[in-house]
């Protein structure tokens, strides 16, 4: 099962975590990022879920990487990410830094690979030739991701430099996966650009992924790709590979929204017919 963008800072979303239960005690839960911002909230959520599901697999969202004034934990960038990984390990939750687990239940065996590759401003509009132009367009349009203020890349000079380092390291890990096994690739950001084509504000796409992962779903034998971040829950296919956007989103997005799939985890394997 997969879910993302729980955003538990909102009380109504916290209740979703409190009420979430597996259909079957053997179910795994993929949590594809944006659980929350404060470390204590993230830990509470993952602890709650890890006590119910046979296994929880987590990939960080941009919100987990924010350093917010309200959080007593003021770590930034890589150090914050490493702390999150430590917290997960204490709960038995799989992170992108652990050996990739193999799901052997219905639809398996499949390697479930949580990834952390961030974004590098390459999903920019056709009228922007560089990252600088792209950012300038976003500031002009008044569509600027809060990451610019709160997601610090330390010790990397920029978020895109951090992204490139993560891509190189993640590629190395994925290339070492048993070539006989398919994968489920889990990343907060979509691995391909197409899902961002339907964004209301096209300038926002530059904070949504990197062109460097455009062929990963075919190259690394994905049976499915699980992502969130866009708050546009849906299933689409690219090169015949199922991409599932599993977000819950903010209360104003799911409340009274007949097109929202509901406050539930979405089935990843076996593929729903």
Piece of the chain touching Fe ion by CB under 5 A; list 175-183, 223-231, 253-261, 264-272 = 223-231
Joined together, the tokens standing for residue 90 give: 């204490």
Shortest separation between residue 107's beta carbon and Fe ion, angstroms: 27
| C-beta of 34 vs 37, nearer to Fe ion | 34
Joined together, the tokens standing for residue 115 give: 């990834």
- Tell me if 62 contacts Fe ion by CB under 5 A: yes
* Residue 255: Cβ-neighbour burial (10 angstroms; 0-12, 13-18, 19+): exposed
Phi then psi dihedrals of residue 183, to 5 deg? -130, 160
- Tell me if 94 contacts Fe ion by CB under 5 A: no
Bridge partners of 58, per DSSP, are: 31
The SS3 of residue 114 is: strand
Choose which of 2, 36, 60, 61 interacts with Fe ion (CB under 5 A): 61
Site for Fe ion in 2-21 (CB under 5 A): 5
- Tell me if 64 contacts Fe ion by CB under 5 A: no
Task: Give the full edge-to-edge strand order of the sheet including 2-3.
Answer: 2-3, 28-31, 55-58
- Tell me if 34 contacts Fe ion by CB under 5 A: yes
| C-beta of 5 vs 43, nearer to Fe ion | 5
Largest CA distance in the chain: 50
Size of the site for Fe ion (CB under 5 A): 5
End-to-end CA distance of the chain, in Å?
15
Shortest separation between residue 247's beta carbon and Fe ion, angstroms: 6
| C-beta of 31 vs 184, nearer to Fe ion | 31
Interface positions with Fe ion (CB under 5 A): 5, 34, 61-62, 229
């Amino acid at each position: 099962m997969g879910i993302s963008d729980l955003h538990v800072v909102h009380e109504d979303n916290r209740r979703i975590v409190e009420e979430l239960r597996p259909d079957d005690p053997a179910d795994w839960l993929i949590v594809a990022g944006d659980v929350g911002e404060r470390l204590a909230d993230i830990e509470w959520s993952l602890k709650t879920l890890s006590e119910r599901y046979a296994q929880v697999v987590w990939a960080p969202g941009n919100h987990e990487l924010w350093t917010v004034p309200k959080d007593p934990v003021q770590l930034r960038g890589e150090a914050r990410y490493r702390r999150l990984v430590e917290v997960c390990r204490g709960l038995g939750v799989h992170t992108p830094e652990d050996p990739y687990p193999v799901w052997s239940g219905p639809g398996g065996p499949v390697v479930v690979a949580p990834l952390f590759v961030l974004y590098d401003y390459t999903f920019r509009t056709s009228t922007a030739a560089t990252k600088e132009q792209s950012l300038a367009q976003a500031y002009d349009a008044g569509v600027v991701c809060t990451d610019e203020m709160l997601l610090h890349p330390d010790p990397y000079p920029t978020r895109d430099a951090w992204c490139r380092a993560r891509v190189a390291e993640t590629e190395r890990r994925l290339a070492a996966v048993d070539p006989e096994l398919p994968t489920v690739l889990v990343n907060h950001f979509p691995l391909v650009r197409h899902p961002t084509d339907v964004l209301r504000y096209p300038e926002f796409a530059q904070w949504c992924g990197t062109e460097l992962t455009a062929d990963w779903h075919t190259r690394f034998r994905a049976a499915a790709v699980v992502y969130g971040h866009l708050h546009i829950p849906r299933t689409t296919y690219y090169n015949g590979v199922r991409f599932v956007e599993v977000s819950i989103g903010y209360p104003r997005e799911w409340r009274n929204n007949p097109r929202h799939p509901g406050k539930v985890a979405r089935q990843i394997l076996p593929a729903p017919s």
